[in-house]
Structure 1
Amino acid sequence: MEIKTVAIIGLGALGIMYGKQFADHLGNDAVRIVADRQRIERYKKEGVYGNGEPCAFHYVAADAQMEPADLLIFTVKYAGLAKAIESARNQVGPKTILISFLNGISSEQMIGEAFGFKQLLYSIVAGMDASKIGNQLTYTKIGFVSFGEKDNARTEKVAALQQLFEKAEIPYEIPEHMMHKMWSKLMVNTGVNQSTAVFATNYGGIQVPGKPRDTVIAAMKEVIKVANAEGVPLRESEIAGWLKINDALSPEGMPSMRQDTLQHRLTEVDLFAGTIRRLGKKHGIPTPVNDFLYTRLREIEASYA
């Protein structure tokens, strides 16, 4: 199995960053940016830029009939996933590998139900400092992709994606315990994304002692308690590793949720605090920090009007 064609649906920060990386190493013809025709016209008219360079992406309309892609990557926000799944149907064949770069632990279920779990790989992306304002994306770190099968098996799909990432020079890892890794990423997102948005700050604001950093850590500890109740052995010692990764990011950079509040977009609070609060209630675990973050983020969203 060899991946020769890559389809990406969702041209936000991750879609642009990884789309550019694939196109630079595989060639534009091997990389499809899938969107509806109206959105494609806007991309072509306004342009899409990565670190100041125009991205000459190969766009394909969602309703166009063509040979399925070897790999389909979802890079939309969770609120747009259902629509993205419908838009992606012409890219999926019986051998298409499916992978989601969305936050949280919910998108794989939706994608698997739509196309089949046998074609699905699980993943998280972390360590990037991409910031997208309008049609301009800036970043200094491309981050890394952790991916694998849900049962951690080293399958042909895993080997094919590994080979592709090496060819495209995308940093990656294949963890021993994929679901643990996904919960670990949910933990850091729940702390970092929500705290920077609530306290209206960037990475620099949580890289120094103070209430924003304290909130990051406290929110992550609540995730650990909930994960343990769900049978996932997260440990408090993992918090230090994530703080080290975030402390190495550009202080001026911002996670996606802070970018959302700056641009008056709805956030993914339901994926983070919403998930932890729901599972906390299920197991009788108090989640006061995530309760605070959830309430405050809903207030921020309501203030847009």
Structure 2
Amino acid sequence: MNIKTVSIIGLGALGILFGHHLSKKMPKVDLRIIANQDRIKRYEKDKILCNGERCQFNYVTPDAVCEPADLLIFTVKFDGLEDAVQAVKNHVGEHTIILSALNGITSEAVIGQTYGMDKVLYCVAQGMDAVKIGNELTYTNRGMLCFGDWEPGIVSEKVKRVADFFEKMEFPYEVDTKMTKRQWGKFMLNVGVNQTVAVFNSNYGEIQREGQAREIMIAAMREVMALSEYEGTYLTESDLEYWLGVLGRLDPEGKPSLAQDIEARRHSEVELFSGTVLELGLKHGIPTPVNKKLYDKIKIMESQY
């Protein structure tokens, strides 16, 4: 069964990036952006732009009656995930495949509680340097989606269907048979990059070069490495080097989502990053002082809005 219809919920940086690309590759009616009526009015009034081009999206409300999607992609913030899970109910059917491009290591489980883990593939979005200001998204590197089954060494028919779809859409992707480690690796990168750039009020360039910010970033990442052993994912120095290589290819002037949230005086996903690290450190009796300092600093920054 080929993938023909796609639904996306969440029109932040990744939602716009994916949606804009797909909108130029498939019939407009087959790509649906799920949003409530107030958001749709705002999107249509303000016009969503991606690298200077106006996005031509097909918006549908959560209560609109429609055929289930062949592929459903979550691109909301984590604090909006529970609402999003309920909003997509009309788009989930017997054969729907679900991808979550959210940060962190828990969104698939949250989605699976409602729709069943058999519909969910594990996914990581990496290598994007998208910056969203207001209604306009800009990026230099589109990055790629990495996805696969949770069980190591397996490539299911669902994975093959999604890979075939992205191949036809000419969107960069990679099938990974070790998604546990991939997700933890991306989590490690996010913990270091997102928080350090925010605290230093800077950009990717600040942590791509040698200096205090890069040292703090790597120290925060090493705390995730230490925890991974107790969580059964066993990140290594080679994993650290791989993700530093991903970081090194990003636009130096770009910045991650948490830093963008702090600049815009929005509630950030700090609980998803150092908040999770601190919880796991307490669980396993592992000290995480670098992440504690980053957590406290970001909380102070948010309290000053």
TM-score bin (small chain): over 0.9
Deviation at 1:236, TM superposition (A): 2.0
| In structure 1, distance between residues paired with 2:119 and 2:176 | 19
Q: Matches of 2:264 and 2:168 in 1, distance apart?
A: 35
Quote the residue 1:266 is aligned against: 267
Partner of 2:75: 75
- What TM-score do the two structures reach when normalised by structure 1? 0.98
Indicate conservation of the 8 Å contact 1:221/1:236, yes or no: no
For structure 2, the 5+ residue unaligned runs are none
- The residue number in structure 2 matching 1:189 is 190
Q: Is the 8 A contact 1:100 1:122 kept in 2?
A: yes
Other-structure match for 2:144: 144
Task: Name the counterpart of 1:60.
Answer: 60
Q: Residues of 2 paired with 1:297 and 1:167: CA distance?
A: 42
- The answer as to 2:84 corresponding to 1:84 is yes
TM-score, with length taken from structure 2 = 0.98
SS, match of residue 25 in structure 2: helix
Aligned pairs for 1:31-70 (under 5 A) are 31-70=31-70
Q: What is the rounded CA distance, in whole Å, between the counterparts of 1:202 and 1:240 in structure 2?
A: 20
The count of aligned residue pairs is: 304
The Cα offsets for residues 8-56 of structure 1, whole Å up to 9 and x where unpaired, read as 0000000000001111111322210001111111111111000011001
Q: Decide whether the 8 Å contact of 1:280 with 1:286 is kept in 2.
A: yes
Equivalent residue number for residue 164 of structure 2: 163
CA contact (8 A) 2:62 2:90 kept: yes
CA RMSD of aligned residues (A): 0.8
Matches within 5 A, 1:247-266: 247-266=248-267
1:5–1:69 Cα contact (<8 Å) kept? yes
Name 1:294's counterpart in structure 2. Answer: 295
CA distance in 1, matches of 2:186, 2:106: 13
Distance 2:241 2:178 in 1: 19
Structure 2 SS opposite 1:173: strand
Q: Which residue in the other structure is 1:277 paired with?
A: 278
Identity fraction in percent: 49
State the distance in 1 between where 2:66 and 2:75 align: 21
- Once residues 183 and 242 of structure 1 are traced to their aligned partners in structure 2, the CA distance between those partners, rounded to angstroms, is 11
SS in 2 for 1:158: helix
For structure 1, the residue ranges without an aligned partner over 5 or more in a row are none
**Secondary structure at the counterpart of residue 296 of structure 1:** helix
Which residue does 1:201 correspond to in 2?
202
For residue 145 of structure 1, give the secondary structure of its aligned residue in structure 2: strand
Residue 23 of structure 1 corresponds to: 23
2:219 and 2:238 mapped to 1: Cα distance? Answer: 13
User: d(CA) in 1 for partners of 2:155 and 2:117?
Assistant: 16
Letter in 2 for 1:154: V
- Does the 8 Å contact 2:194/2:256 carry over to 1? yes
1:13 matched residue in structure 2: 13
Shift of 1:237: 2.4
2-structure distance, mates of 1:142, 1:29: 24
Deviation at 1:245, TM superposition (A): 1.6
Alignment match, 2:215: 214
